[in-house]
Structure formats: C-alpha cells, structure tokens
Amino acid sequence: MSVLLSDPRIPPDAPDTLIEAESPRSLLARRRRGDWLLFAAICITMVLAVPPLMWLGTTNGFGLVIGVAVSLAAALAVVRKPEIGLFLVLACVVLVEENPLTIPDGTDRLNIFYWPERIAGLPERPIGFLFLFILFMFASQRFVRWQRALRGGELLAPLLLFLAAVLIGVVHGITSGGDFKIIVLEIRPFWYLFVGYLLAYNTVTRREHVSAFIWIVILGAGVKALQGTYITFVVLHGDLAGYNEIMSHEESFFWVALLLLIFLFALHHRQRGQLIAALALVPFTGISLVANNRRADYVALLVAILVAWVLLIAIRPGRRAGLVTGLVICLLLGTAYVAAFSHSGGAFAQPARAVISTIHPDTSDARDYSSNLYRQIENADLKFTIKQSPIIGYGFGKPFLQPVLLPNILDLDPYYLFVPHNTIYWVWMRLGLVGFLALWYIFGGIIVRGCQIARRLRDPYLQLVAVYVVAVTFMEVILAYADYQLFFYRNVIYLGLLCGLLLNLPKLDRADREDAEKDAEKDAEKELPAL
C-alpha cells in the first residue's frame, strides 16, 4: 500500500526523503499527466496573453512586449523548477547593467535593475520582484510537501541583526526629515543581499549546481569582456582619451574575480573545462580591464590572491613548502614590476600605476589626483557626520554634512550627497556604531565560516569554491572603501549568492563521500567469490 505525503498520519516534520512508494508504471503515468497539464496550462496562458500583449505593443512599443514575454517564459520555468531562478538571477547579475551606459552595449538597455521611463517610480525593481516570485514558488512547493518552507543557515543571525539596524536607520531617517524615496533607494541593496543569500542557500542542493554557478560566472565575465573589447577597438578605435571608463564600475569587479578563479584553477585544482574557457577569455578580459580603468580593482585582486594563497598554504600541508616558495617568488616579482613600471606609460604599466596612485597619486595626473582629493574630502565630511550621532547614526534619506564643500557633480550623480564612494563609512554614518559592528559581523562570519569550511572539505573543487568565496569577500571589503561596492545591486546580490552557496558546500561534500562509499561497497560485493 502506498504511503502518501498528504496522509494525516505523517507528522509535519517528517524527513524530506519520505516519498510516495508507487510502482514504476503508476509513476510514469503520473508524470505524463503532469506534463500534459503543464502543456495545457502553457497553451491556455499563451492564448489569454496574446490580446493584451498586442494591445501593449501597439500602445507602448514592442520592446516592452518582448520583456513581458520573456518574463512569462522565465516565470513558467521557475514554476517548473524553482532552482532555475537561482541561475536566472545570477545570469542577470553578471550580464546586465544597472543603468544605461554612455556607450551602449545592448545589455544595458534590458530592464532588470531599473524600470522603463513610462512605469518608473515603483518602490521595487524588476529584479526584486523576481526574487520574491522565486522564493514564493520554492516555499510553496516545499510547504505542500510538508517540508520546511525556507532554511536560514548560519549566516541568518548576522544578516537579521544588520537588517534590524537598517530598520532603526529607516525610522530615524523618516522621523528626522529624510526623503522617503532616497531612503528606499539606499536600503534596497541590503535587502538584496539578504534575499540573495536565502535564494542560494535554499536552492543549491547538488554538486552540479555549484559547477553550473561557476560556469555562468565565467561565461558572464567573458561576454562582458567581449563587449568591452568591441567598444575599445570598434566603437572608440582604440582612442580612450576623455573616457574615465568604457563600461560600468561593476564589470571590473567581475573581471578581476575571473582572474582570481584562473589563479585558483592553476594553483589548487584544475577543472579542465572551466580552466580552458577562462584562459581563452584572458586576452579580452585584460583589454577590457585596462580600458575600464578602475584603479581599486587591481589592489583588490592583489589582496584576494594573497588571501587565497595563504589559505591554500593552511589547508594543503602536503604542498606547503612549494606554495610558500611560490608566494615569495611572486611577491618579489610583483614588487619589482610595480617599482619598474609605476611611472611608465602604456597599457602594460597601467596596473602598476594604478596600485601606486591609490597610495601616492601623481600630481601630474589630473584625473587620479582629483579623484583622490575628492575622496579625501568626502571621507572627512563623512567622519564629521558620524560624530554628530555616533551610536544610532545619522539615519537614511538625508544628505551627509559638508564642513568641507565637495565639488558639485549633480549632473553626473544625483545622489552624490547621499551615497559616497566609501560605502563602509556610508554604513557607519547611516547606522552608527551598532550597524557598523553588525556589518563587520557579516563580513567576519563569511570569512571565518569560509576558512573553516575550506579546511573540512575533501572534494578539491568544492574546496576551491570555498577559497574563492573568502577571497571575493576580501575584494568586496577593499572595493567598498573606494568604489560604491555596497550600493551596487549586482555586487551585493553576488555576495549574497556566494554566501548561500558557501554554506551548502559541506552538505554536498558529505553527500559525495557517502555516494562514493556506497559505490565502493557495491563493487566489493560484486568481487566477493560465490559460496
């Protein structure tokens, strides 16, 4: 007699492995019925959707119609398999810009992180509604199976503590004259960090999900690198004069993260297919990285490689001597390169110039010198504002104080007095000491958990991913001091996804070991001589 999940005799906390025991024939019939029902639902939806889509196209343009049609297709895929939503979100993060670019590249016109002008003004963005839909479908499907809707994991407490501090900052901002629209704009990245973590933590259930995740990261960075190369040589004909950057700031982050992955593949574990694909993209990545000219990303990459190298030394005692020797050689060569080329011209020397200019800018370079001076004034103003309310913060929605006036760049950035380059100080200024400590609780939790997980894992590929997450977290901190990192939706979503992925690695590693042990037992039984 079959045991049904809906049987009232089954307790609500029954294990997830409890499934209906039915014959293969009845199981196949049930699957066929489900496929036919899904096909019928799709047909009915398409028939009902065509008239309103036609009306929408004739009145608002068919670009919006295409967006709605793609959204419906994505929704149907998520309904079928909610874990598809994870990869859909990740693809949006690595491929689509948050705002239109000065030099269009095609993907910057996709309405993922902003609305078309006709319907702009909603409190949530398309990506936010996508998050909510995916989590709702996932929770609903688990609920009907008598399973726990959503799991929180070990980073849930730090994230909730930080969100509580954000809520205090919102209330403080509203009651002290903060602009509500600005408040929503400022707190949205923190919400995306939280839901990104929940999404990955609940949907990554197999080792194949981890591999697919890394593939999307590699290919996404590659597509953006190809776009950057095209803009550099075809659109601009190699003349970058007058352009501070050719693409969005976030692209440089994903490019250096790709270079970090290549380093880990070379030094720790050679996942052949992904390594070959990443190496094939290196020329385009290098050209685009140099053309985009984000100095802080070079420093972040160096710090990330150093962190990853030290962590590999700690978790690989058998290769410790070779890793230490290689680290010393690379430090000497890197120091010699910076010393030799820090005052040279040309694209090859740009990383060396970028590293030195962040510490000691050349007064003859007007761009770097003025950029550093602007950030120094901005940091001084932020420190002054922090002192006005050091415990609970200044609150959201209000411009920070300017004892030293900043240059007026309202035409370039309408929010320059609300969201500074240094987003570490920004959080401190908005939330005070409590929120600032909560932020470091999150960063510290990721790094400590990541190091512990990397030491425990036995699968070298999963171990590589754990090291990657820890190193990327250091990159995030470095860039948050210099380049809006905690305000960019794409960056904070990516960090949240990586955190959820990280905490699932031990479970996946155990499952792989158990499967290997079972296979070994079966092979041993087959080899036993017949009695």
pLDDT (tens digit per residue) in 83-118: 889 999 999 999 999 988 888 888 888 888 988 777
- Calculate ∠ Cα 486-489-492, nearest 5°: 50
d(CA 48, CA 35): 20
Over range 176-202, report the average pLDDT. 94
Q: Is the dihedral of CA 251, 255, 256, 261 positive or negative?
A: positive
By mean pLDDT, which of 9-13, 42-46, 74-78, 352-356 is the weakest? 9-13
d(CA 451, CA 469): 10
Over range 171-179, report the average pLDDT. 94
Smallest CA-to-CA distance from 26 within 54, 47, 4, 9 is with 4
Smallest CA-to-CA distance from 479 within 219, 296, 268, 243 is with 296
Find the length of the chain: 531
Over range 286-298, report the average pLDDT. 90
Instruction: Encode pLDDT of 454-513 as tens digits.
Output: 999 999 999 999 999 999 999 999 999 988 999 999 999 999 999 999 999 999 999 877
Supply the angle between the helices 207-230 and 249-267 in degrees, to the nearest 10: 130
d(CA 301, CA 478): 9
Over range 238-244, report the average pLDDT. 83
**pLDDT for position 119:** 73
**pLDDT for position 11:** 46
Supply the angle between the helices 366-388 and 423-456 in degrees, to the nearest 10: 90
Over range 438-461, report the average pLDDT. 95
With a cut of 90, say whether residue 343 has pLDDT above it: no
Over range 299-328, report the average pLDDT. 90
With a cut of 50, say whether residue 531 has pLDDT above it: no
Residue indicated by tokens 């199981």: 27
Task: Give me the half-sphere count of Cα atoms (radius 13 Å) on the Cβ side of residue 287.
Answer: 17
d(CA 262, CA 214): 12
Instruction: Determine the straight-line distance between the first and last CA of the chain, rounded to whole angstroms.
Output: 36
- Of 435 and 346, the structure prediction assigns the larger pLDDT to 435
Q: Label residue 281 by pLDDT band (50, 70, 90).
A: very high
416: three-class secondary structure by DSSP: coil
**pLDDT for position 81:** 83
Dihedral angle at the C-alpha atoms of 422, 490, 83, 37, nearest 10 degrees?
140
Amino acid (1-letter code) at residue 182: I
d(CA 115, CA 488): 16
CB 169 within 8 A of CB 395: yes
| Averaged confidence pLDDT in the chain | 83
**pLDDT for position 24:** 59
d(CA 174, CA 168): 10
Smallest CA-to-CA distance from 135 within 113, 150, 153 is with 150
The CA R_g of the chain, rounded to the nearest whole Å, is: 26
Over range 341-347, report the average pLDDT. 69
Instruction: Encode pLDDT of 139-162 as tens digits.
Output: 888 777 777 778 888 999 999 999
DSSP 311-377: HHHHH-GGGHHHHHHHHHHHHHHHHHHHHHHTT--SSTTHHHHHHHHHHS--TT-HHHHHHHHHHHH
Task: Parse the chain into domains and list their residue ranges.
Answer: 28-150, 151-508
Instruction: Encode pLDDT of 371-394 as tens digits.
Output: 788 889 999 999 999 999 999 999
**pLDDT for position 390:** 93
Q: Label residue 5 by pLDDT band (50, 70, 90).
A: very low
**pLDDT for position 72:** 73
**pLDDT for position 2:** 38
Quote the longest CA-to-CA distance of the chain.
91
CB 20 within 8 A of CB 4: yes
**pLDDT for position 203:** 92
d(CA 95, CA 219): 9
**pLDDT for position 36:** 62
- pTM value? 0.85
